[in-house]
Structure 1
C-alpha cells in the first residue's frame, strides 16, 4: 500500500468489516463439556424425575426424598398464626 492509500479514510463498509474482525464474544470463552442427564429415580416406585434442588417428594407415589423442618433463619422468622 502506498502512503496515499493508508491516509485515505475508511468507508462505512470497511469500518464495519474491521469492527467485525476485531470484536470478541460477549460471554467470554466457550467452555466445552460433555452432555449429561441429571435425573433421580424414586426408590419406592422407580419413576424418573428431573433432579432439581428442592425436590422433596415423588409426584407419582408420594415417597418423601427429604424430610425438612423449617426453623428460624437469619432473615426469615416463622410466624405463629394462632
Structure 2
C-alpha cells in the first residue's frame, strides 16, 4: 500500500536535491594540458596567448605583422 500522508518539508527538500541536475549541464572530460610557448632565442617560457608578439625577456619577435591592402581596409597614402 502507498503511504498517502503528506510529505514533510525535509522530505520534499531531499527529493528535490536527489532529482536536481548539475548547473550548466554535464562536465566534459578532457586531457590536462598546458598552453605555453618557449622563446626560441633565450628559452624563456611564456604563457601562450593571442596577441603575444615579443618575448618580454630578450625582445625576440614571435610574429612580424605587416599590414597590406585588404578587402575593406586600404593603406592610407599620407604623401599628399
RMSD: 2.4
Consecutive unaligned residues in structure 1, runs of 5 or more: 75-82
Runs of 4+ deviating beyond 3 Å:
69-72
* Residue 32 in structure 1 maps to residue 32 in structure 2: no
CA 1:17–1:70: 2 relative to 1, 3 Å: farther
1:79 counterpart residue number: none
After TM superposition, the score normalised by the length of structure 2 is 0.76
Does residue 1:11 correspond to 2:8, yes or no? yes
If each structure's helix is expressed as a fraction of its own residues, which one has the higher value? Answer: 1
How many aligned positions are there? 75
Alpha-carbon distance in structure 1 between the residues aligned to 2:51 and 2:5: 63
Q: Give the structure-1-normalised TM-score.
A: 0.74
